[in-house]
Chain A
Amino acid sequence: MAVSQNKLVQWIDHRLPVFTFLDHELNQYPTPKNLNYWWNFGSLAGVMLTIMIVTGVFLAMQYTPSVDDAFQSVERIMREVNYGWLMRYLHMNGASFFFIVTYIHIFRGLYYGSYKAPRELLWMLGVVILLLMMMTAFMGYVLPWGQMSFWGATVITNLFSAFPGIGNDIVTWLWGGFAVGNPTLNRFYALHYLLPFVIFAVVGLHLMALHQHGSNNPLGIDRKGPQDSVPFHPYYTYKDMFGLSAFLIVFAIVVFYFPNLLGNPENYIPANPMQTPPEIVPEWYLLPYYAILRAIPNKLLGVCAMFASIFVLFIVPWLDTSKVRSAYFRPIYKWVFWLLVIDAFALGAVGAHRPEGIWIVIGRVGTIYYFLHFLVLMPLIGWFERPLPLPPSIAEAVLKKRGGGALAGAAATRTKP
């Protein structure tokens, strides 16, 4: 099968079937015809990863990983390097937007049951990507060597001291010394440059797993035949490009007009180990985990709860006992899902405040509810809930929604196998 009339393309494809591969994964790749705009966020996350790697490589060309020069070198990028301010602000805000689209992507998966068989590994690879993103973002935040860089690094690495017996040795080993210092900064830089490429590789596996069974869809029912799907190209390439362009407008407004909105002013003060800032807070995308950490009065248990809050996502495919994927047909789970969203925002707000007064209470209730959702509600609701009847096929559901009487009849005959 020739993918092109072009002789050169044929010559290459015969030896290295990249064109056949692209044809298969784009032109032939069947995608449910009923995906809504929530399905745009996977490709948006891919674009953000690319933006982060490209701007990051340019920044690395001018950045100096040394405790004496790091702050100045970042300021030099901002002030003296041509378009350095653009690269830096894109990268700095890009991290936030990468997390925004990824979190939306994850909640979309939770709502529509995209983690259920046969997509368990697809989901678990996604959780691996989230973990890698959090590590990369944390280490990247240390690189400008501002006050929050230094003290954030100190607080987070110190968490490992909670492990009984070997805790302090682990911390010394992580630091490469007896305090956060030059070896710490250097290894964080090395890893911050390495991990994005690891993420890139895991994204490759994520896509491989995705293309094995294709996308889930808002109805959560399997595709039954060609009438249920469209080829990815041109239908979803155009839809994704439109979504990307709209997304970039929001990104550009923040980068060009509010570049420091999501950052902490404290990080424009050079790191000073002798002076603790009045408040040590992580970046917004880590606040919910920080809230869970602080909700538990015992340090070791707090650290365990924080890690558990991510690791519980790995077993979600088995915690959810419902046979129905989409929350659209799950009258109880639908509400519980939105409670989880509210809980995540509440925990984020708790993480941004000092642990005192009402915030302690909200933090504890929020933490308990978070684990209750996954460990108790998910399995129980799956057993007790009576889901709404599922439509026989995507094509029929689509036509019914359109309200086309005659067309629906015609399609119904078409959908008979």
Chain B
Amino acid sequence: MRPRRVLPALLAGAVIAAAVLAQPARPATAQAAGEEAPPLPDVSWSFEGPFGTFDRAALQRGFQIYTEICSACHSMNLVTYDDLAGPSGLGYTEAEVKAIAAQKQIADIDKNGQPIQRPARPSDHFVAPFPNESAARTANNGAVPPDLSDMIKARDGGARYVYGILTGFRDAPKGVEMRSGMNYNLYFPGHQIAMPQPLQDNSVQYADGTKATLDQEAHDVVTFLTWAADPTTEERKRTGAKVILFLLAMTGVLYGAKRRVWSDIEH
């Protein structure tokens, strides 16, 4: 065995093998419902690839969609208003974030111990539409709208899947019997989803004048949700580039050192 060829092949092989092993469990979810889901729509994103970053304008438009439409039913309990500020957030200033937070009322207790409603502060988590799960269930025909904070990481297919759901509402094909209150969706496992189609053309009026088509809206809100699922993505990629460059240099130096140390030995 030639060690020089074996090592890189081995490392690559180990990662690929692990990835391949991890894959098969995934399509099973769609198959479980009996019907094959079509392949997810192939969309390109600003945040793709090792150097991809979030398009700030798209993030702000996506946040507008969330605020005006999704947040009527879906909470985002893990995100704070603070997270929206600055270059690692959506690019809003502190003052803008303060104003965004203040539009929401949040339950609290005053100095005298009495329950009150007060305007939200930047340090608060996003105010949820329902006080608890039972209230959410009752208001939504028995189905709890899931929290969206981690939605992109919590579904097979991630951003493409959520984009598919948002753009995948169709009339039920002939012969498909829909359960009461359910809606037909191409990409949802089993095709019957409790959520009615949330986005249409011109569901919102964009502040920056972008034409609000369904595709545009879905693309923007998925960009926002991807950021929300991992707000440190850009910092992570930047750090990764530095770490890997350093490791490449160090590996080169150590290879030279190893060769030099071994140069007086027949091996």
What residues of chain A have their CB less than 8 Å away from a CB belonging to chain B? 33-34, 36-38, 40, 72, 75, 78-79, 85-86, 89, 96, 100, 104, 218, 230, 234-235, 238-239, 241-243, 245-250, 252-257, 259-262, 264-266, 268-269, 278-279, 281, 284, 287, 345, 348-349, 352-354, 395, 398-399, 402, 404, 407, 411
Does B243 contact A256, Cβ atoms closer than 8 Å?
yes
CB distance from B197 to the nearest CB of A (A): 23
Residue interface bits B230-247, CB-to-A below 8 A is 1, else 0: 111001110111011001
Query: In whole angstroms, what is the CA distance A399 to B265 when docked?
Result: 11
Which one of A100, A279, A395 lies within 8 Å of B18 (CB-CB)? A100
Please tell me if the beta carbons of A265 and B155 are within 8 angstroms of each other in the complex.
yes
- Whether the Cβ atoms of B22 and A245 lie closer than 8 Å is no
**Complex interface bits, B171-206 against A, C-beta within 8 A gives 1, otherwise 0:** 000000000000000000100000000000000000
Judge whether A75 and B236 touch: CB under 8 Å: no
Cβ distance B79 to chain A, nearest Cβ, rounded Å: 8
Q: How many residues of B contact A (CB 8 A)?
A: 59
With both beta carbons as reference points, the residue of chain A lying nearest to B260 in the complex is identified as A238
Q: Do residues B244 and A256 form an inter-chain contact, with CB atoms below 8 A?
A: yes
Specify which chain A residues have a CB less than 8 angstroms from the CB of B7 in the assembled complex. Answer: 37, 40, 243, 246
Residues of A within 8 A of B29 (CB): 278-279
List 17 extra interface pairs beyond A100-B15, A242-B257, CB under 8 A: A33-B267, A86-B239, A104-B10, A235-B265, A242-B255, A246-B8, A249-B247, A253-B244, A256-B243, A262-B18, A269-B150, A269-B154, A284-B18, A287-B21, A352-B23, A352-B25, A353-B28
Name B77-94 residues within 8 Å CB distance of A.
78-79, 83
Cα distance A230–B267 in the bound complex, in angstroms: 10
Q: Is B135 an interface residue (CB 8 A)?
A: no
- CA A217 to CA B149, docked complex, whole Å: 52
Q: CA A218 – CA B18 in complex, angstroms? A: 26
Q: Top 6 nearest A-B pairs by Cβ distance?
A: A256-B240, A268-B154, A242-B254, A245-B251, A268-B150, A37-B3
Which of A36, A352, A354, A402 sits near B3, CB closer than 8 Å? A36
Interface: B95 (CB within 8 A): no
Query: Does B261 contact A238, Cβ atoms closer than 8 Å?
Result: yes
B156 interface hit (Cβ, 8 Å): yes
Q: Provide the main secondary structure of the chain B interface.
A: helix
Closest to A285 in B: B18
A353 with B232, Cβ < 8 A, contacts A37-B6, A234-B261, A265-B154 known: no
Q: Which residues from chain B contact A259 at a C-beta distance below 8 Å? A: 236
Inside 8 A of A254's CB, which chain B residues have their CB? Answer: 15
Interface residues of B in 246-260 (CB under 8 A from A): 247-248, 250-251, 254-255, 257-258
Q: Which residues from B are CB-within-8-Å of A279? A: 25, 28-29, 32
Cβ–Cβ contact A252 & B189, under 8 A: no
Task: Give the residues in chain A near B154, CB-CB below 8 Å.
Answer: 265-266, 268-269
Name the contact of A256 in the complex, choosing from B158, B231, B236 (C-beta under 8 A). Answer: B236
Mark contacts of B131-162 with chain A using CB atoms, 8 A cut-off: 1 yes-contact digit, 0 otherwise: 00000000000000010011001111010000
- Given the known interface contacts A38-B6, A75-B149, A252-B243, the answer about A85 and B21 at a Cβ–Cβ threshold of 8 Å is no
Task: Report which of A100, A238, A245, A264 forms a contact with B247, defined as CB distance below 8 A.
Answer: A245
A34-B267, A250-B11, A398-B267 known; A242-B258 Cβ under 8 A: yes
CA–CA, A247 and B15, complex, Å: 11
- From known contacts A238-B254, A242-B254, A265-B153, infer whether A354 and B28 are also in contact, taking CB-CB under 8 Å: yes
- Counting CB contacts under 8 A, is B24 at the interface? yes
Residues of B near A411 (CB, < 8 A) are 266
**Is A79 within 8 A of B265, CB to CB?**
no
Contact A96:B231 (CB < 8 A) given known A246-B251, A249-B251, A402-B266: no
* Complex alpha-carbon distance, A402 and B267, angstroms: 8
Closest to B228 in A: A79
What is the CB-to-nearest-CB distance from A105 to chain B, in angstroms, rounded to a whole number? Answer: 12
Is B34 on the interface with A (CB-CB < 8 A)? no
Residues of chain B within 8 A of A262, CB atoms compared: 18-19, 22
Considering the complex, give the chain B residue whose CB is closest to the CB of A99. Answer: B18
